[in-house]
C-alpha cells in the first residue's frame, strides 16, 4: 500500500519508491502539510512549531490560542481571506461579494488505480497506482474541494489535482483553482524555470528564490515558448547528480502560473495551476470544476535524477501506449526544403531521394490546402489545392507509398485567416473583441475552440482529408498567441471561461481524431516548441522542439527541454548548411548527432545534396536505427553542469540494465592549445567491463564513471564525438 491513513494521529502518508509525502488533519479540521522529500519512516509532525507571531491571527474557535495561525502553519491547499496571508490556492466569489474560503477536512477515500479525467489529459494509470481523495469543505459558501493524489510509486511521482464542487444553493464564481499547493517548512531553495522565445525555447534560469512572491507563467493562451509550465526547486548546492530537487509540471497547454512565496519565517509555498489572471468560472449549484493535473516529483540525486523521474513517467504513463514502444519513423519534412513553393512532382522528387537514403516518411508541411501560397491566406479551408499540387492528395499519397515511404500532412486546426472561405462565412467563429479590431499575428486569427460548432467543423474537415488519402501522421501547428480572447457564443459573465474552454475544445478535437484514427501519429508543434507540455504529450508522442534547426542552438534548446521531457518526445531534424535561421555552417556529422537525440528526421532539400552527403546521411540513418532503443528508452544524463562555461556540450544515454552507453560531445568553441574535453560517465555498472565500439580498448565501468574520459584535440568548427560502449 503506498497510501496510508493513521486514524489516531490523522496523518496521511503517501510513499513512492524513494519519497514520502505527509499531511495531517488536526483537531480544527485544517489539513496541514507535514513533509515531502526522501523517505524517512515514521511521522513528521514533530516538525510543526506552534508560535505566536505578531499580525498572524488565529481562527475564531481558537482565539484563546495565539500559537495557532493559518498564516504560520503549512497548509495542504491554502484557503483565502480567513487568516493565511500567503498565496491562496483557491479564490471563489460568492453571490454576496465575499471571496473568503475556509477549507476544513470532511472525509477521504482511497482506491486502487485511478479514474480517467473527462475532457482533460491525465497521467495514465500504472499497475501500482493508488489514489487518495481528501475532501475539504467550506460549509458557509457551500464549496467542496476534492484533493486528488495519484501515487506512482515506481516513477517517484505524485500527481495532484483539485475538483471544486458547488454544494450550496447559490452560484459561485471560481476565480482561482490551483492544481497543487506544496508548503515546505524549511529550506533555502534555488528555483529553476524555463524561459525563452520563438526559436529559443526552454532556457533554464537558476537563482536563489528570494523572500516574497515570485511568479512564472503564461497569459498567451498557450503554455508558450516564453515560460514552460515546469519549475524546479532545489538545494542551493544541488548539481546535476547530487542534492535534493523538487519538480512541479503542469499537464496543461493553456494559461498557467507557478507562484512561489518565501514567507516571514523563511518557509516556501509553491502554488501551480491555471493562471488566475482573467480566469473565472461560474459554478451553478451542483456543478463541478476540475483543474488540470500537476506532476510532482522529488529526487535526492540531483537534477539528472529528477529529470529521469519525469522522463520515465512521461514515456510510460503520459505518451499513448500506441507509441510507447514503437520506433518512430525517420522522416523528411518539406518546410525548409520548399516552404510554400511546391507541386506534387517536386514533393515526389524529394520522396524518391529520401527513400534512396533510407528515410521512412515524407511530411508535406504548410501550403497544400485552400488559397495558401504564403502565410496571408487559406487557414481554415482544409480542402486540398489540387490545382497547386497537380493531382489529388490520394494520388500523391499513393505514389509516395509506392516509393516505400509513409506520408504525413501539416494542419493548423485552431487558426483562421481573414482571407479564407471559413472566415467569410463565419466571422463570429474567430476570437475577437466586440467593436475592436483584433490583433493579427502571422496574418491570422484564432478560432473559438470553446464553441462546439467550431470543433465539429474542424473534425469533419480534417476527417474528409484523412479519409480520402492514406495519411499516417499529422503535424499539428499553432502559430500565434491568443489575444482578444472573447467568444461570441458566451454571455458577458462567462468570458473568463473562454481561455480554458478553448483548451477543452482543442483536447476534445485531438481525442476524437485519435479515437477515429488510433494509428495516426500526431506531432505537436507551435511555431516550434510553443506548446511543449505534458498536456499535448498525452495526445502527441512527439513535439517539434523549435523552429530553430541550427544544431549549435539546438544543443541549448534540447538540453533545456531535457530537464522535464524525454528526448523521445523532442522533434529534431538535420537541416541544411548554412542554417536557415542563423546562417551557421555546422558539419553534417554534428548535425546528425544532435538530431539523433530526438525523434530523428531531415528538413532540407535532398536534391541539393552531394553524393558524399547522401552517403553520409544513409550512414546516419543506419546509426539512428542501431541506437534507437537506447536513445528512446535508456536513461539520459546531462554531463555538463548548467552554465559551466565549458567549450563543449556533452550528454549520454545508458541502458537501464547497464549493458551499453552512448556518449555524445559537441565542441562549441575549438581553441588553439586548449584543454581536453573531459567527462565522467554515468549510469554504468561499476564492476563491469565495457568495450569502446570500433576499438579493442576495454574499460571498467568504475573507471569511466569515477576516472572519466578525455577526448583528443579537435580541429575546425563544431566537431562532434560519439562513443558507443558495450558491456562485455
Ligand atoms: C511553424 C512550424 O514550426 C514550422 O515547422 C512550419 O510547419 C511552419 N509553421 C509552417 O507554417
Is 548's C-beta closer than 6 angstroms to any atom of ligand 1? Answer: no
What are the CA-CA distances from residue 541 to residues 18, 315, 494, 563, 595 (Å)?
Answer: 28, 9, 33, 17, 17
Is 130's C-beta closer than 6 angstroms to any atom of ligand 1? Answer: no
456: left (phi over 0), alpha (psi -120 to 50) or beta: alpha
Residue 284: pLDDT band (50, 70, 90) is very high
β-bridge partners, 567: none
Is 528's C-beta closer than 6 angstroms to any atom of ligand 1? Answer: yes
Extract the C-alpha cell encoding 138: 467550506
Residue 453 in this model has a pLDDT that exceeds 90: yes
Taking alpha carbons only, the member of 588, 593, 528, 619 closest to residue 336 is 528
CB atoms within 10 A of CB 546: 31
Q: Burial letters for 356-374: b for 16+ Cβ neighbours within 10 Å, e otherwise?
A: ebbbbbbbbbbbbbbbbee
What's the mean pLDDT when you consider all of the chain?
A: 98
Residue 408 confidence (pLDDT):
98
- Quote the longest CA-to-CA distance of the chain: 86
CA angle 82, 85, 86 (to 5 degrees): 125
Tens digits of per-residue pLDDT, 377-386? Answer: 999 999 999 9
Average pLDDT over residues 697-706: 98
Residue 41: pLDDT band (50, 70, 90) is confident
**Best mutation site among 339, 370, 410 for ligand 1, i.e. most ligand atoms within 8 A of its Cβ?**
410
Residue 162 CA to residue 170 CA, distance in Å, equals 21
Is 323's C-beta closer than 6 angstroms to any atom of ligand 1? Answer: no
The H-assigned helical ranges of 277-369 are 302-313, 321-324, 335-338, 344-357
What are the CA-CA distances from residue 233 to residues 204, 238, 349, 515, 560 (Å)?
Answer: 12, 10, 51, 38, 16
What SS3 class is residue 87?
Answer: coil
* DSSP secondary structure letter of residue 455: H
Residue 96: pLDDT band (50, 70, 90) is very high
Residues 6+ apart with CB under 8 A from 500: 254, 255, 274, 279, 281
Residue 63 confidence (pLDDT):
80
Q: How far is the CA of 67 from the centre of ligand 1 (A)?
A: 59
The H-assigned helical ranges of 517-567 are 534-539, 551-562
Q: How far is the CA of 335 from the centre of ligand 1 (A)?
A: 7
Taking alpha carbons only, the member of 415, 404, 333, 331 closest to residue 372 is 415
Known catalytic membership, residue 130:
no
**603 CA closest ligand 1 atom index:** 5
Residue 356: pLDDT band (50, 70, 90) is very high
Residue 36 confidence (pLDDT):
98
Tens digits of per-residue pLDDT, 476-503? Answer: 999 999 999 999 999 999 999 999 999 9
**Which phi and psi (to 5°) does residue 485 adopt?**
-80, 70
Residue 279 in this model has a pLDDT that exceeds 90: yes
Q: Judge residue 398's burial from the number of C-beta atoms within 10 Å of its C-beta, 0-12 exposed, 13-18 middle, 19 or more buried.
A: middle
Q: How far is the CA of 366 from the centre of ligand 1 (A)?
A: 7
Residue 186: pLDDT band (50, 70, 90) is confident
Nearest CA to ligand 1 atom 9: 527
Known catalytic membership, residue 301:
no
Residue 299 in this model has a pLDDT that exceeds 80: yes
Q: How far is the CA of 412 from the centre of ligand 1 (A)?
A: 9
Is 80's C-beta closer than 6 angstroms to any atom of ligand 1? Answer: no
Residue 220 confidence (pLDDT):
98
Residue 533 confidence (pLDDT):
99
Whether the bond into 42 is cis, omega within 30 of 0: no
Q: How far is CA 521 from the centre of its chain?
A: 18
Average pLDDT over residues 650-662: 98
Spatial contact of 76 and 85, defined as CB atoms under 8 Å apart: no
* DSSP secondary structure letter of residue 518: T
Q: Positive or negative CA dihedral for 486, 503, 473, 327?
A: positive
Residues 6+ apart with CB under 8 A from 470: 394, 397, 398, 401, 407
CA angle 485, 489, 491 (to 5 degrees): 85
The residue written with cell numbers 568548427 in the block is 717
Average pLDDT over residues 26-55: 96
Residue 274: pLDDT band (50, 70, 90) is very high
Interhelix angle 611-633/344-357, rounded to 10 degrees, is: 70
Residue 266 CA to residue 262 CA, distance in Å, equals 6
Tens digits of per-residue pLDDT, 307-333? Answer: 999 999 999 999 999 999 999 999 999
CB atoms within 10 A of CB 686: 12
Q: Are strands 406-411 and 473-476 parallel, antiparallel or unpaired?
A: parallel
CB atoms within 10 A of CB 548: 23
Taking alpha carbons only, the member of 562, 624, 593, 724 closest to residue 327 is 624
What's the half-sphere exposure (Cβ side, CA atoms, 13 Å) at 480?
Answer: 22
**Best mutation site among 477, 545, 575, 598 for ligand 1, i.e. most ligand atoms within 8 A of its Cβ?**
477
Residue 1 in this model has a pLDDT that exceeds 90: no
Task: Out of 418, 533, 547, 603, pick the active-site residue.
Answer: 533
Q: How far is the CA of 339 from the centre of ligand 1 (A)?
A: 9
Task: Out of 375, 613, 623, 693, pick the active-site residue.
Answer: 613
**525 CA closest ligand 1 atom index:** 3
Q: How far is the CA of 527 from the centre of ligand 1 (A)?
A: 5
**544 CA closest ligand 1 atom index:** 3
What are the CA-CA distances from residue 547 to residues 190, 354, 483, 571 (Å)?
Answer: 30, 21, 22, 10
Q: How far is the CA of 365 from the centre of ligand 1 (A)?
A: 7
What are the CA-CA distances from residue 560 to residues 43, 449, 553 (Å)?
Answer: 37, 31, 11
For the chain, the first-to-last Cα distance in angstroms comes to 39
CB atoms within 10 A of CB 206: 15
Residue 347 CA to residue 370 CA, distance in Å, equals 18
The residue written with cell numbers 477549507 in the block is 103
Tens digits of per-residue pLDDT, 564-587? Answer: 999 999 999 999 999 999 999 999
Taking alpha carbons only, the member of 157, 152, 182 closest to residue 2 is 152
Nearest CA to ligand 1 atom 6: 335
Taking alpha carbons only, the member of 563, 713, 581 closest to residue 640 is 563
Residue 717 in this model has a pLDDT that exceeds 90: yes
Amino acid at each position: 500500500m503506498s497510501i496510508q491513513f493513521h486514524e489516531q494521529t490523522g496523518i496521511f502518508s503517501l510513499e513512492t519508491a524513494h519519497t514520502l509525502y505527509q499531511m495531517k488533519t488536526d483537531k480544527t479540521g485544517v489539513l496541514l502539510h507535514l513533509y515531502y522529500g526522501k523517505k524517512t519512516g515514521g511521522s513528521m509532525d514533530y516538525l510543526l512549531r506552534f508560535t505566536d507571531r505578531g499580525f498572524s491571527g488565529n481562527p475564531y474557535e481558537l482565539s484563546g490560542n495565539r500559537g495557532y495561525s493559518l498564516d504560520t502553519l503549512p497548509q495542504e491547499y491554502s484557503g483565502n481571506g480567513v487568516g493565511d496571508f500567503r498565496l491562496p490556492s483557491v479564490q471563489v466569489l460568492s453571490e454576496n461579494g465575499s471571496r473568503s474560503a475556509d477549507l476544513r477536512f470532511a472525509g477521504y477515500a482511497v482506491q486502487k488505480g485511478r479514474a480517467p479525467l473527462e475532457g482533460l489529459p491525465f497521467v495514465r494509470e500504472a499497475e501500482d497506482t493508488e489514489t487518495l481523495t481528501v475532501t475539504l469543505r467550506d460549509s458557509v459558501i457551500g464549496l467542496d474541494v476534492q484533493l486528488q493524489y495519484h501515487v506512482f510509486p515506481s516513477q517517484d511521482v505524485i500527481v495532484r489535482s483539485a475538483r471544486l464542487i458547488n454544494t450550496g444553493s447559490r452560484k459561485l464564481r471560481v476565480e482561482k483553482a490551483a492544481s497543487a499547493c506544496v508548503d515546505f517548512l524549511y529550506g533555502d531553495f534555488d528555483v529553476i524555470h524555463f524561459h525563452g522565445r520563438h526559436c529559443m525555447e526552454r532556457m533554464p534560469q537558476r537563482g536563489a528564490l528570494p523572500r516574497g512572491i515570485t511568479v512564472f507563467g503564461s497569459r498567451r493562451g498557450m503554455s508558450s515558448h516564453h515560460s514552460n509550465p515546469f519549475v524546479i526547486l532545489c538545494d542551493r548546492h544541488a548539481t546535476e547528480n547530487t542534492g535534493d530537487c523538487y519538480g512541479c509540471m503542469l499537464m496543461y497547454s493553456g494559461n498557467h502560473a507557478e507562484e512561489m512565496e518565501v514567507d516571514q519565517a523563511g518557509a516556501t509555498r509553491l502554488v501551480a495551476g491555471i493562471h488566475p489572471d482573467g480566469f473565472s468560472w461560474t459554478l451553478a449549484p451542483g456543478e463541478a470544476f476540475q483543474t488540470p493535473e500537476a506532476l510532482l516529483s522529488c529526487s535526492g540525486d540531483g537534477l539528472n535524477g529528477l529529470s529521469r523521474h519525469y522522463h520515465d513517467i512521461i514515456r510510460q504513463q503520459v505518451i499513448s501506449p500506441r507509441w510507447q514502444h514503437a520506433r518512430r519513423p525517420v522522416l523528411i519534412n518539406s518546410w525548409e526544403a520548399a516552404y510554400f513553393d511546391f507541386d506534387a512532382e517536386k514533393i515526389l522528387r524529394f520522396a524518391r531521394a529520401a527513400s534512396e537514403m533510407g528515410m521512412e516518411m515524407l511530411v508535406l508541411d504548410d501550403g497544400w490546402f485552400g488559397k495558401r501560397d504564403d502565410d496571408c491566406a487559406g487557414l481554415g479551408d482544409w480542402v486540398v489545392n489540387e490545382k497547386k499540387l497537380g493531382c489529388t492528395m490520394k494520388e500523391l499519397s499513393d505514389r509516395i507509398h509506392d516509393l516505400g515511404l509513409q506520408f504525413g500532412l501539416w494542419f493548423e486546426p485552431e487558426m483562421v485567416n481573414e482571407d479564407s472561405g471559413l472566415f467569410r462565412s463565419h466571422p463570429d467563429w474567430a476570437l475577437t473583441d466586440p467593436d475592436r479590431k483584433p490583433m493579427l499575428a502571422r496574418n491570422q486569427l484564432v478560432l473559438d475552440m470553446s464553441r462546439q460548432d467550431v470543433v465539429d467543423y474542424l473534425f469533419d474537415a480534417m476527417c474528409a482529408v484523412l479519409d480520402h488519402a492514406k495519411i499516417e501522421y499529422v503535424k499539428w501547428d499553432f502559430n500565434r498567441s491568443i489575444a482578444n480572447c472573447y467568444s461570441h457564443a458566451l454571455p458577458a459573465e462567462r468570458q473568463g471561461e473562454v481561455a480554458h474552454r478553448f483548451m477543452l475544445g482543442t483536447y476534445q478535437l485531438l481525442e476524437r481524431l485519435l479515437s477515429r484514427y488510433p494509428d495516426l501519429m500526431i506531432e505537436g508543434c507551435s511555431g516550434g516548441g510553443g506548446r511543449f507540455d505534458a498536456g499535448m504529450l498525452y495526445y502527441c508522442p512527439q513535439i517539434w522542439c523549435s523552429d530553430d534547426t541550427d544544431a549549435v542552438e539546438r544543443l541549448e534548446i534540447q538540453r533545456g527541454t531535457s530537464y522535464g521531457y524525454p528526448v523521445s518526445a523532442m522533434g529534431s531534424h538535420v537541416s541544411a548548411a548554412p542554417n536557415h535561421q542563423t546562417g551557421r555552417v555546422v558539419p553534417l556529422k554534428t548535425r546528425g548527432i544532435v538530431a539523433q537525440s530526438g525523434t530523428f528526421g531531415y528538413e532540407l532539400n535532398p536534391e541539393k545534396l552531394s553524393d558524399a552527403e547522401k552517403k553520409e546521411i544513409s550512414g546516419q540513418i543506419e546509426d539512428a536505427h542501431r541506437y534507437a532503443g537506447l536513445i528512446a528508452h535508456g536513461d539520459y544524463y546531462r554531463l555538463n553542469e548548467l552554465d559551466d562555461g565549458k567549450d563543449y556540450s556533452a550528454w549520454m544515454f545508458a541502458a537501464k540494465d547497464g549493458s551499453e552507453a552512448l556518449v555524445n560531445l559537441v565542441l562549441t568553441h575549438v581553441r588553439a592549445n586548449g584543454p581536453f574535453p573531459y567527462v565522467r560517465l554515468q549510469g554504468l555498472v561499476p564492476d563491469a567491463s565495457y568495450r569502446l565500439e570500433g576499438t579493442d580498448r576495454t574499460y571498467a565501468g568504475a573507471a569511466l564513471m569515477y576516472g572519466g574520459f578525455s577526448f583528443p584535440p579537435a580541429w575546425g568548427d563544431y566537431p562532434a564525438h560519439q562513443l558507443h560502449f558495450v558491456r562485455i
